Amino acid sequence: MAKLYIKIYPNPVLRKKARHVGKLGDDERKLAYGMIEAMRSASGVGLAAPQVGISKRIIVVENVDNDKKAALVLINPRITRKKGNVNFCEGCLSLPGISSDVARPEFITVEALNLDGDILKINADGLLARIIQHETDHLDGILFIDKIGFLKRRKIIKQLGAKVCMKF
């Protein structure tokens, strides 16, 4: 697969709902490995396929709770349980230089497929839970700036020089 490039806001692909992955094959594996490479090259901790212009429900996440340098690949991820609420500063590779506090559930359970087609069920908290939620949002065309107050969002969009409608 050719090198993947991260799409920057306001690229319209970032606002589209990604397609469900039906059958796993070499294309999905190559995409996932390319996404891991792109994420790490940009010093990120998570990346969703729409961020590289591909409409597939695939995310990659650095396993921040593990000392090994192994990324998680989650295909068709679905958050099945949420608990708690915590504010934390978030940024995004598609919105370079922008960050803001975002409230999200502190504990989650996510179900997904891995690259072998096996079902994964992950209970996550802290940073791992936040990254999974952030990247899963991308699959539905949701950006972290959609989860902050209107005035702050408007200021950020103006700062980016974007002249597009905000999603509500």
Whether 62 is catalytic: no
Task: Write down the catalytic residue from 28, 62, 90, 135.
Answer: 135
CA distance 82 to 133: 10
Q: Please state, as a whole number, how many other Cβ atoms lie within 10 Å of the Cβ of residue 158.
A: 10
- 57: phi then psi, degrees, rounded to nearest 5: -85, 75
151 in Cβ contact with 107 (< 8 Å): no
Q: How far is CA 47 from CA 36, 75, 163, in A?
A: 8, 12, 24
DSSP H stretches of helix in the chain? 26-41, 126-139, 150-160
Please identify every residue annotated as catalytic: 135
